[in-house]
Each structure stands twice: as C-alpha cells, then as structure tokens.
C-alpha cells in the first residue's frame, strides 16, 4: 500500500527554528517533481526569537494541517530548536482523529515521538527540505529511501555494525538523543517497553552523551527495551582526557545491556542517510547485521 501517491497535497511547516527567505525553494521543487501539490503553512517563514513564530502559531499550523482532509502528509522545514515548546498547544484529540505522516529530523524528534505516544501516529525521520538541499541536489540514499517510504515498500538495510549480538522486534522510537532527553519526565516521552531505540546527535561533548544515555536508562521501562540503533554522532568530541571517545562511550553503555545494539548506522546529521519510521515495528538482527522495515 502506497503512503503517498502523485497529486497528493502535502504541506510544509516550521515547528522549530526560523528559516531564511527562499531556503525552501529547492525542497519545494523536489517535492513537486515527485508529483505532489505543495502547500506552505501560514507561519512557516515567521520569526520570533530563535523559532519560526510563537509557540502558539507554530502549533496552530500543525493543528490546521492535521484538520485539513486534503493534506496527506506534513513536512517539517528544518530542525534547530524549539519544537518541545509548542507541544502543549497541540490538539491531540483532533490529531488522533486525523492521522497522517510527519517527516522531519533532529529537533523534529520531540514532535514525532509525542505524536506517536499520544496518538499512535507513524512519522518518518531522516529528511528536511531545507537542511537536505544546501547543495544542488538531494543525496541519492535519502532520495531512494524516501521513494521506498512513499511507495510503502519493505526496506532491508545491510552491513550494520554490532556492539551486542541478538535479534529483536519492536516499535522504533527516538531520533536525536538530546531532544529525546528534553522529553524525559513529560507527558510526551514514549513508553520504552518493547521498543527499539534510535539515537544520534551532533556537537555534543562525549561525557554529556554518556550522561544523557544514563538519563534514558533511568526512565520507566528501559529494562523492557528490545534493542538500540546508534546512528552517527557528528562532531561529538572528547574534551578532557578520560571522557572517552564516542565509540567507547557507546560500547561501554552497550556492555551494561543484554539486548542487541548496533552503531555507526547511516542516520543523523550527515549528508547521506536512511529515512526511518518512528512508531512502526521493525526487525533488528545484530547477528546477521540486518535491519528490516516491513512494507505498509
């Protein structure tokens, strides 16, 4: 079953940081070339402090996008910061009755995990029409992965790198480590039971990565987690001797767990990455180094 088809109407919103004029031009053209009719939400280009408009206005764009029956998918323009601030203004009852996929990455983690936890919505992490068109064209891996998503096709991703062996099935949640930790202790943090956790980050000190992983470990039902997929930790450096490299921090964390764990997966703040479903069951095989995403 196809997720999206030609002539479907999609909308671009800015739930996080503000964007420059014309920053969306290449992304809009690419979406149109896929056959979609592209609409821009009212406050997409707004600016208020470091966010694209006030918390209320950004949430209003999202509420209206879900309420519009003609809209078949929602694309977050960029990441940055601020999506957690507008969650309290979302109408989750309305959203739950008008489910549709949301595409994003990075700061979109807060929105996507909240939508899954509160409404059972499957979102897709790994594509932003501003961030991914800083060059002349969209990366081939992202483009191919998006086509699989749009067409509802099964994806089998090979050549994983394992820290812990084992096999697991579970609903994929997570995304950006820092942003997911912002949700800890809130009504929007997803239940970890029977989940596979996807994590990446950028520009964080390695000791902070260690502390954030420990924060997740202290959340309810972490002991019922099924597996972990560590993506790329871009520009995450050891500041003081003894802090440990990213690989050592992840390796030591994995050693404390009795579940399959893979690392260095092509997802995160990198040019070439996979687009993955937040809220859908996947199969992680750390023995045979495979990740299987079933068809819709």
Residue 123 annotated to the active site:
no
On whether both 32 and 122 belong to a single domain, the answer is: yes
Task: Note the pLDDT of residue 241.
Answer: 75
Q: How confident is the model at residue 243 (pLDDT cuts 50, 70, 90)?
A: confident
Task: Note the pLDDT of residue 244.
Answer: 83
On whether both 231 and 284 belong to a single domain, the answer is: yes
Domain count, the chain: 2
- Among the options 14, 57, 106, 108, which is catalytic? 106
Residue 215: give the domain boundaries: 155-293
- Among the options 43, 108, 123, 200, which is catalytic? 200
Residue 14 annotated to the active site:
no
CA 282, CA 247: separation in Å to the nearest integer?
Answer: 24
Report if residue 149 sits inside a domain. Answer: no
Report if residue 48 sits inside a domain. Answer: yes
Residues near 185 by beta carbon (within 8 Å), at least 6 away in sequence: none
Over the stretch 123-172, which tens digit does the pLDDT of each residue have? 999 999 999 999 889 999 999 999 999 999 999 999 899 999 999 999 99
On whether both 104 and 161 belong to a single domain, the answer is: no
**Any idea of the CA torsion for 79, 83, 84, 88, to the nearest 10 degrees?**
-170
Q: How confident is the model at residue 240 (pLDDT cuts 50, 70, 90)?
A: confident
What does the pLDDT average to over 2-31? 97
CATH, residue 188: 3.50.30.60
On whether both 281 and 163 belong to a single domain, the answer is: yes
Q: Tell me how many degrees the CA angle 53-57-62 measures, rounded to the nearest 5.
A: 115
On whether both 286 and 163 belong to a single domain, the answer is: yes
In sequence order, what are the beta bridge partners of 124? Answer: 103, 277
The sheet carrying 102-104 orders its strands as: 37-40, 9-13, 71-76, 102-104, 123-125, 276-278
Task: Note the pLDDT of residue 229.
Answer: 99
Task: Note the pLDDT of residue 238.
Answer: 85
Residue 17 annotated to the active site:
no
On whether both 169 and 130 belong to a single domain, the answer is: no
Over the stretch 77-133, which tens digit does the pLDDT of each residue have? 999 999 999 999 999 999 999 999 999 999 999 999 999 999 999 999 999 999 999
| CA contacts within 13 A on the Cβ side of 208 | 13
Report if residue 146 sits inside a domain. Answer: no
Report if residue 145 sits inside a domain. Answer: no
């Amino acid at each position: 079953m196809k997720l999206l088809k030609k002539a479907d109407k999609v909308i671009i919103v800015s739930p996080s940081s503000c964007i420059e004029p014309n920053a969306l031009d290449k992304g809009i053209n690419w979406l149109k070339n896929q056959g979609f009719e592209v609409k821009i939400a009212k406050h997409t280009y707004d600016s208020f402090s470091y966010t694209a408009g006030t918390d209320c206005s950004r949430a209003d764009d999202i509420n209206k996008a879900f309420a519009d029956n003609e809209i078949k998918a929602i694309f977050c323009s960029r990441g940055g910061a601020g999506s957690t601030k507008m969650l309290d203004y979302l109408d989750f009852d309305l959203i739950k009755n008008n489910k549709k996929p949301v595409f994003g990455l990075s700061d979109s983690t807060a929105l996507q995990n909240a939508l899954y936890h509160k409404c059972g919505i499957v979102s897709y992490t790994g594509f932003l029409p501003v961030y991914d068109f800083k060059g002349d064209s969209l990366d081939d891996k992202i483009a191919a992965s998006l086509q699989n998503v749009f067409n509802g096709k099964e994806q089998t991703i090979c050549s994983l790198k394992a820290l812990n062996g084992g096999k697991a099935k579970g609903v994929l949640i997570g995304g950006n480590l820092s942003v997911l930790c912002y949700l800890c202790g809130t009504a929007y943090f997803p239940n970890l039971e029977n989940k596979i956790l996807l994590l990446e980050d950028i520009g964080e000190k390695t000791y902070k990565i260690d502390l954030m992983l420990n924060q997740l470990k202290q959340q309810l039902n972490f002991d019922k987690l099924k597996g972990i997929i560590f993506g790329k930790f871009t520009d995450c450096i050891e500041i003081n001797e003894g802090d440990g490299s990213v690989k050592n921090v992840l390796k030591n964390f994995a050693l404390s767990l009795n579940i399959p764990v893979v690392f260095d997966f092509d997802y995160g703040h990198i040019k070439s990455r996979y687009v993955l479903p937040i809220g859908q069951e996947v199969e992680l095989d750390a023995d045979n180094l495979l990740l299987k995403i079933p068809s819709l």
